[in-house]
Chain A
Amino acid sequence: MGFYFAQLLTGLANASSLFLIACGLSIIFGVTRIVNFAHGSFYMVGAYLAYTLVTTLPAGIFGFWFSVIAAALIVGVVGLIIEVTILRRIYHAPELFQLVATFGVVLIFQDGVLAIWGAEDLLGPRAPGLDRAVRIMGEPIPEYDLALILIGPLVLAGIWLLFHRTRWGVLVRAATQDRDMVDALGVNQAWLFSGVFVLGAALAGLGGALQIPREAASLQMDLSVIGEAFVVVVIGGMGSVAGAFVAAVLISVLNAFAILIFPQISIVLPFVVMAVVLIVRPYGLFGKPGSEHGGAAEPEQPLRLMSSQGAMVLAALVFALALSPAVVSEFSSILLVDVMVATLFAVSLHFMMGLGGMVSFGHAAYFGVGAYAAAMTVSFLGFGMLPAMAAGPLAAAAAALFFGWFCVRLSGVYLAMLTLAAAQILWGVVFQWQDVTGGDDGILGVWPPEWASDDRVFFYVAFVACIGGIWLLRRVAHAPFGYGLRGIRDSELRAEALGMDVKLHQWMGFALAGAFAGLAGAVFAFSKGSVFPDALSIAQSVDGLMMVLLGGIHALAGPIFGAGVFVLIEDWVSRLDYWRFIFGAIILVVVLLAPDGVAGGVERLLRVLGLRRGDAA
């Protein structure tokens, strides 16, 4: 009995740290509608800063708590700088574009922390005065855990007072409900947003600083915490602080007991809980309808068929690509396969995100399922490459049909999060199910057959699959089915009034996007000769998102630009020291110069140069 109580207390202590990170994220989203990927970075920086302060300042109770609070405040200032210099400039960019900027910040912080604090994990000292364990029902409980259990509700109470007893807090709550109304009332939105961002960042910094006696500060802290923090925010309801608290307790306590029964479950448990909650309550526990969307987007320009000039340029480019193996080195030819695979992946994501308005944070799931299905068709069933390349998209479509059925019932950020949950659950299955998937060791020896083993020959196999896939998706985008998806995105009510089955249409769109991601995955498997769980990871999903958003979500050519730019720059900078910093900085520059993505930027450049007419009547 005592053991279970101890387990419960551990769960509650974890819940407090999780709550501190998640509530800041939730407040920031509620007001600014920014999905802040950099929130984990604030948490990490808070931990490192606290470590430095605690070890530099004279030891003692005062020194420790001063360090914790100072670290949180410094992180708040860092948040202010980021908000004022970067985010403030792009509030009016298309929905979710800010996510790209925060991703750039994540990369810069990773290398910044590496440069300042080094690669080694840093374990802070125990908290003075709280460094022992007390026995509760016979079990030793660290005093510090008990302190954390108190701190969580204290912070919750503090935020509640701030939001209900101060004018500023009332404005924050008002802006969470309707920021345009608050703007219309003459409130200076810019400073309200800055204030909220600072508060959120400081809370994340506090969460990180409080962790140092429990866990070493490491360079992986940022991304390991961000997934779980998002889950908590979504379960609680975007923008709801009380919801974040309840969700943090729910997740942490469930986790504390679940690992006793089934230790492997802890990686996927939060995502399973999130999936269940979202299926039952589409806006989270405390969320309200309407909380799921970002700022209102500018209406998109109609699609136009390509002009004959444009078609000729494109044909020339594709032709040049087709001839490239004869000219470029073998190494570049492999790189070009990477670009084609990434482009097909990005185009398939854009198909559901840009045309369908269904944002996915977990598109890698279908890429990975395609890759694994192809690899397993070869290694278990002994089939050749071509059947395997057909199995990839089919398996991915099946997975997308299954998960999509649940996802299309939600919208906005909630839909995005359910796709993330689906991807994480699949990733967990692949990672744990060693006998079938090889777990962490992956599946090796997935090479093309003899006739295609030459890199140049395989280039053409990839060329046909990827360029063919991209062409097919474009064709569908211009077909009634693609128009229907776009129509549903523009106005569901109008689509229904035309007699369209909105959910069925979206479901089929989801599955089609999944199938083509699976095709990209199958080509990927053969180009690398192996598959690892990474293929389904959040990182892979985020790469896809970056390509689509960076390229420009409002243009069909967007993902093509985005993927090309992304893979080529990544390939180039990843050979350098501190490449993440450089890559992050490049992303920020692109974001600030072209808030409508590369495709939008190129279009504007062409217009400025007089190479393209304005809007045709």
Chain B
Amino acid sequence: MMSVLEVRGLSKSFGGVEAVADVSFGLARGEFLALIGPNGAGKTTCFNMLNGYLGPDRGSVKLNGQELVGMRPRRIVRMGVGRTFQITLTFLSMTVRENVQMALIAHHRRLYDLWSRAAQMFVPEADALLDLVSMREQAGRPCSELAYGDLKRLELAIALAHEPVLLLMDEPTAGMAPSERVALMELTAGIVQERGVSVLFTEHDMDVVFAHAHRILVLNRGRLIAEGTGTEIRENALVQEVYLGGGTVFAREGDDA
């Protein structure tokens, strides 16, 4: 199967600390890939290199064969890489619908339009996206008064407005109640399937990971230590040591970044 995303030899050091070292993996179309690892494993650094906020020291990131390293974050967005944030980021002074409309306006390159009324643009498209994440009833509410779980769903709608081929989700369920987590990931999984979007996500909640990920990558101390399906990862001795025997590992080798 042709990979949507090809990551080869990705490395980044901060001072003397190798935050990400020689990470390589591929992501197939429509795949739901989890990137897990203990705190400080390098997941966020890895993410930030994929979406252009950090330049890697070495390595390449190819989206459908095109090199992303060296591109500005906004160019990478335009290439079809959407993202959601660990702590949700929305435009708080706008309504739910307006947030999605802004994404659509940006996607259709109408940002420098000085004349049209933004609140009346792309309304059906925005509402369709809000329907997708069951946020339609809240379309007129200011974002500043939404519950956190609703903001997470709104962020998903915003990310989808760009019709991404690849969605990077940094801890999509962080800060949510357990029941909401399952619902959000089911929703995401459904959308992925329906639209053929590929998703790479990081996550701390193992229930979420094992329930939804098609494949799992395990990162520890900047290196990929395992890769496989849920069952394979569960039975991997090294992964068990990292997660369950973490205390002794850290005690012996000192803390990492």
Interface of A with B (CB < 8 Å)? 299-303, 305, 475-476, 478-484, 486-487, 489-491, 493-494, 496-501, 505, 508, 615-617
Going nearest first, the 6 A-B pairs with the smallest beta carbon separation are A299-B144, A499-B77, A299-B92, A300-B93, A494-B89, A498-B106
A490 adjacent to B93 (CB under 8 Å): yes
> Which residues of A are found within 8 Å of B85, using beta-carbon distances?
493-494, 497
B94 adjacent to A302 (CB under 8 Å): yes
A494 adjacent to B90 (CB under 8 Å): yes
Evaluate whether A498 and B93 lie within 8 angstroms (CB atoms) in the complex, with A299-B142, A508-B112 already known. Answer: no
Report the bound CA distance from A491 to B142 in whole Å: 15
B116 at the interface (CB under 8 A from A): yes
Evaluate whether A496 and B93 lie within 8 angstroms (CB atoms) in the complex, with A305-B119, A480-B113, A480-B116 already known. Answer: no
Contact partner of B94 (CB less than 8 A), chosen from A475, A483, A615, is A483
Report the bound CA distance from A125 to B93 in whole Å: 58
B102 adjacent to A484 (CB under 8 Å): yes
> Which residues of B are found within 8 Å of A487, using beta-carbon distances?
91, 94, 102
> Which residues of B are found within 8 Å of A482, using beta-carbon distances?
118
Report the bound CA distance from A479 to B105 in whole Å: 10
The smallest beta-carbon distance between B127 and chain A, in angstroms, is 16
Contact partner of A497 (CB less than 8 A), chosen from B83, B101, B111, is B83
- A480-B105, A491-B90 known; 19 other A-B pairs, CB under 8 Å? A299-B92, A300-B92, A302-B98, A302-B142, A475-B115, A479-B113, A479-B114, A479-B117, A480-B110, A480-B113, A483-B98, A484-B111, A491-B92, A494-B89, A497-B89, A498-B103, A499-B78, A500-B111, A617-B140
> Which residues of B are found within 8 Å of A302, using beta-carbon distances?
93-95, 98, 142
The smallest beta-carbon distance between A165 and chain B, in angstroms, is 33
Contact partner of B114 (CB less than 8 A), chosen from A481, A493, A617, is A481
> Which residues of B are found within 8 Å of A481, using beta-carbon distances?
111-114
> Which residues of A are found within 8 Å of B112, using beta-carbon distances?
480-481, 508
B107 at the interface (CB under 8 A from A): yes
B165 at the interface (CB under 8 A from A): no
Residue picked from B85, B90, B112, most chain A C-beta under 10 Å:
B112
B158 at the interface (CB under 8 A from A): yes
Q: Which residue of B has the minimal Cβ distance to A485? A: B111
Evaluate whether A499 and B107 lie within 8 angstroms (CB atoms) in the complex, with A479-B117, A483-B102 already known. Answer: yes
The smallest beta-carbon distance between A320 and chain B, in angstroms, is 26
Evaluate whether A479 and B83 lie within 8 angstroms (CB atoms) in the complex, with A299-B93, A486-B93 already known. Answer: no
> Which residues of A are found within 8 Å of B110, using beta-carbon distances?
480
The smallest beta-carbon distance between B143 and chain A, in angstroms, is 8
Contact partner of B106 (CB less than 8 A), chosen from A486, A493, A500, is A500
B73 adjacent to A497 (CB under 8 Å): yes
Evaluate whether A498 and B95 lie within 8 angstroms (CB atoms) in the complex, with A480-B118, A481-B113 already known. Answer: no
23 A-B pairs, CB-CB below 8 angstroms?
A301-B93, A302-B93, A302-B95, A305-B117, A478-B117, A479-B113, A479-B118, A480-B116, A483-B118, A484-B111, A487-B94, A487-B102, A489-B93, A491-B90, A493-B85, A494-B90, A494-B91, A497-B83, A497-B85, A498-B107, A499-B77, A499-B106, A617-B141
Report the bound CA distance from A481 to B115 in whole Å: 8
A500 adjacent to B93 (CB under 8 Å): no
A479 adjacent to B90 (CB under 8 Å): no
> Which residues of A are found within 8 Å of B78, using beta-carbon distances?
499
B93 adjacent to A505 (CB under 8 Å): no
B121 at the interface (CB under 8 A from A): yes
Report the bound CA distance from A302 to B90 in whole Å: 13
The smallest beta-carbon distance between A345 and chain B, in angstroms, is 20
The smallest beta-carbon distance between A482 and chain B, in angstroms, is 7
Within 8 A of A (CB), among B196-245: none
Q: Which residue of B has the minimal Cβ distance to A498? A: B106
Report the bound CA distance from A496 to B142 in whole Å: 21
> Which residues of B are found within 8 Å of A299, using beta-carbon distances?
92-93, 142-144
Report the bound CA distance from A21 to B173 in whole Å: 51
Report the bound CA distance from A576 to B101 in whole Å: 53
A505 adjacent to B111 (CB under 8 Å): yes
A491 adjacent to B141 (CB under 8 Å): no
> Which residues of B are found within 8 Å of A491, using beta-carbon distances?
89-92
A486 adjacent to B113 (CB under 8 Å): no
A479 adjacent to B115 (CB under 8 Å): yes
The smallest beta-carbon distance between A481 and chain B, in angstroms, is 5
B102 adjacent to A475 (CB under 8 Å): no
Q: Which residue of B has the minimal Cβ distance to A491? A: B89
The smallest beta-carbon distance between A456 and chain B, in angstroms, is 32
> Which residues of B are found within 8 Å of A484, using beta-carbon distances?
102, 105-106, 111
Report the bound CA distance from A500 to B103 in whole Å: 9
Q: Which residue of B has the minimal Cβ distance to A472? A: B114
B74 at the interface (CB under 8 A from A): yes
Report the bound CA distance from A500 to B77 in whole Å: 9
> Which residues of B are found within 8 Å of A301, using beta-carbon distances?
93, 142, 144
The smallest beta-carbon distance between B105 and chain A, in angstroms, is 5
Report the bound CA distance from A499 to B77 in whole Å: 5
B162 at the interface (CB under 8 A from A): yes
Evaluate whether A490 and B91 lie within 8 angstroms (CB atoms) in the complex, with A302-B98, A480-B113, A498-B106 already known. Answer: yes
Q: Which residue of A has the minimal Cβ distance to B88? A: A494
Report the bound CA distance from A491 to B94 in whole Å: 12
Contact partner of A500 (CB less than 8 A), chosen from B74, B115, B118, B142, is B74
Q: Which residue of B has the minimal Cβ distance to A497? A: B83
> Which residues of B are found within 8 Å of A486, using beta-carbon distances?
91, 93-94
> Which residues of A are found within 8 Å of B113, using beta-carbon distances?
479-481
The smallest beta-carbon distance between B116 and chain A, in angstroms, is 6
Q: Which residue of B has the minimal Cβ distance to A490? A: B91
> Which residues of B are found within 8 Å of A508, using beta-carbon distances?
112
Report the bound CA distance from A617 to B141 in whole Å: 6
A498 adjacent to B98 (CB under 8 Å): no
A499 adjacent to B117 (CB under 8 Å): no
Report the bound CA distance from A486 to B102 in whole Å: 11
B121 adjacent to A480 (CB under 8 Å): yes
Q: Which residue of B has the minimal Cβ distance to A486? A: B93
Report the bound CA distance from A220 to B65 in whole Å: 68
Report the bound CA distance from A437 to B25 in whole Å: 66
> Which residues of A are found within 8 Å of B144, using beta-carbon distances?
299, 301
Residue picked from A486, A489, A498, most chain B C-beta under 10 Å:
A498
Report the bound CA distance from A617 to B145 in whole Å: 11
Report the bound CA distance from A490 to B91 in whole Å: 5
Evaluate whether A498 and B77 lie within 8 angstroms (CB atoms) in the complex, with A483-B94, A617-B141 already known. Answer: yes
Report the bound CA distance from A225 to B162 in whole Å: 52
The smallest beta-carbon distance between B117 and chain A, in angstroms, is 5
> Which residues of B are found within 8 Å of A489, using beta-carbon distances?
93
Report the bound CA distance from A487 to B115 in whole Å: 17
A498 adjacent to B102 (CB under 8 Å): yes
